[in-house]
Structures are given as structure tokens and as C-alpha cells.
Homo-oligomer: A and B are copies of this chain.
Amino acid sequence: MNRPLIYGNTPTFLHASSVAKDLAQAANYHATIYGVPWEGAVTWGAYTGCELGPKVIRQCSERYSGYLPELDDIDVLSHYSLADAGDVSTIPADVPATMETIQSFASSLWASGTFPVGLGGDHGITYPVVRALGETTGKKIGIIHIDAHFDNNDESMGDEFGRGSPFARMYEYEQVRNESLVHLGIHGPRNKAVNGRSAKEAGAVTITIDKIRSAPDLKAFAKEVYDIAADGTDEVYLSICSDILDYAYNPGGPADANGLHPEQLLTLIHEFGSYGVCGMDFVEVYPQQDQNDFSSHFVTLAILYVLAGRLKKEGKA
């Protein structure tokens, strides 16, 4: 089998072409996947190892085609070309330098005009990616942040760029419009009251999981959410944390019950894709605690649903 590899004998994501040697080539592809094998401070409990996410997600992706019969028979890969840009190089003992490397890497992708898809790594990677978008384009940014948790602590164990803090940094970043930053799906007592207050003070919009569940029409609801993020901004970025899913569907992550079911998350992000997002990431996949790699398999599905949404927007599906 003559399959494309990204490094070692790890396949590229979903049979993509490798552009790891020259990021500028990403300009020739509709979408470009890249990995950020990064874990800063370890979260509570024995949940660790999310720097393995990019590799295991790619290994799992090899099983799949781009065909989604349930979405009007669309075959994403017959319309879209994919590139894989490899992984950002990280320096575990030097957080600021790593953040800069991520930003610089992401800037290349933003500049190329491709649709960038980041594979975490912990949630700390999202801030430099968004910052790269702001610095490269000068645009005003809205964010749809799908997660069980606010991730807006002032710092995480002393680290301003830690996994629990990216949205505190976003609040401070002038090119993010806080009123267009939506924390979507928030639930559960791993949050603290101060997190809710911080979001409110920053002007960000919190939509808890109960609001999603009580929506009579999930697609119409998705439109309302999107409109908040798009209001007053030039671009909408999408960031998904694995723990928005109930632990049954995300067994490797910290045990967060009472989350979304896969079909709910997929419906939401497919709609967001169809209204237009400029890039996305999927973070906090932990292969080490996930004996059948369920979370890693899910990521391919999530990315395909967003891309299928983009195709719908372009009138191809």
C-alpha cells in the first residue's frame, strides 16, 4: 500500500498530502490539518498524555473515507483537497517559546488562505492560533468555544498560557470581540463561580448545555449562536474541547458526565460550518486512558462534518 506518511510511519490525516516541508504549499489545498503535540500542566487526576493526540488521531483517520451517506450522500474528499502540515515543534520546558512557535506556524497557514484545522494538545494551543489569525489578517474575530468548561482562569498553576487559561488571554486580546466570544455547552462543577463571573465581566456570552437541550430546533439554535459570534466581527473561529461530550463518548478524558451526545455536537458544528467559520481546532484527546481510541476516532468525524458544512455553504452539497 502506497500511503502518504507525515512522519515516521504515521499516515497523514485522512489520506491528505503532506506539506510539512513547505507550509506555503498549503495555499493549494482547501483545508490543512496540523498537530500541536503539547501538554502543559497536567489536569487533576491521572489524565495526561494529550500530546499523543495528533499521532493517534491520524492513525485512526486512516480507516475512513470522506463519504457521509447521512448528509445527503456527500463525499467530502471528492470536492475538497486536504493537506497535512505535520506537527508544530514544542519545547516542554519553555512555554512562551512554544506559544510563539505555535503562533508562527499558524500564521503561515492563515497567510496561505487554506482552512486550518488544529489537532491538540491541550486547550492552551488555541490562544496562539487565534492570535496568529489576528496578527496576520488584522481582522476582528468572533469565537464559538464548545466545551464543558470556561477555561478562562487567570492562570493555570502559575502559567498564563496553561490549559485552563486560553480564554482569559482571549478576553485581553483586542482583536477578539468579547461580545462575539460564545462559551457554548458549559456545564458541571469542574467550573468555579469565578469562571462564570469572569466571562460576564469580560462581556463574553455563556450558553450552557441546558440551553442547547431545551432548543426546540437544534439547527435554528445553531444559527442564533453563529449570529452572536458573527455580529461585529470579520471571522468566526471554532474551538472544540473533547469534554463537551459525555464521558461515555469520550472515555479518555477527565470524567465529565452530563455532556452532549455525538449527534448533537455533530449537528451543531455542521451548521456552523455551513454558515462559515475560518478555521477550527479539536483539543484534549487522551489516548492513554481510552483503550479503544474512541475519542481519536471521533475527531475524523467532527472534521468531516465541519467540512461538509463548508461545502453546503459553497453550494456543492
Contacts and interface: CB of A to CB of B under 8 A. Distances in A.
Contacts of A292: 247, 251, 255, 289
B258 A263 contact: yes
Count copies of this chain in the complex.
6
B301 A70 contact: no
Interface string A50-82: 011001100110011111111101010010000
Contacts of A289: 291-292
Given A42-B10, A301-B257, A87 B92 contact: yes
A2 to B, nearest CB: 12
Name the residue among A67, A78, A254, A256 with the largest chain B CB count within 10 angstroms.
A67
Given A8-B92, A42-B9, A93-B86, A193 B70 contact: no
Contact of A248 (B56, B94, B249, B266): B249
B301 A188 contact: yes
B93 A20 contact: yes
Nearest to A55: B48
B93 A192 contact: no
Interface residues of A, number: 91
A246 B258 contact: no
Name the residue among A59, A90, A293 with the largest chain B CB count within 10 angstroms.
A90
Nearest to A98: B89
A9 B41 contact: yes
A40 interface: yes
Interface in A292-307: 292-294, 297-298, 300-301, 304
Given A90-B89, A189-B64, A189-B68, A298 B257 contact: yes
Given A8-B92, A93-B6, A192 B67 contact: yes
Interface of A: 6-10, 18, 20-21, 35, 37, 39-42, 44-46, 48-49, 51-52, 55-56, 59-60, 63-71, 73, 75, 78, 86-87, 89-95, 150, 157, 159, 162, 186-193, 195-196, 206, 208-210, 213, 246-249, 251, 254-258, 261-263, 266, 287-289, 291-294, 297-298, 300-301, 304
B67 A191 contact: yes
Given A52-B49, A93-B20, A39 B8 contact: yes
A23 to B, nearest CB: 11
A49 B51 CA distance: 10
A187 B70 contact: yes
Name the residue among A206, A209, A294 with the largest chain B CB count within 10 angstroms.
A294
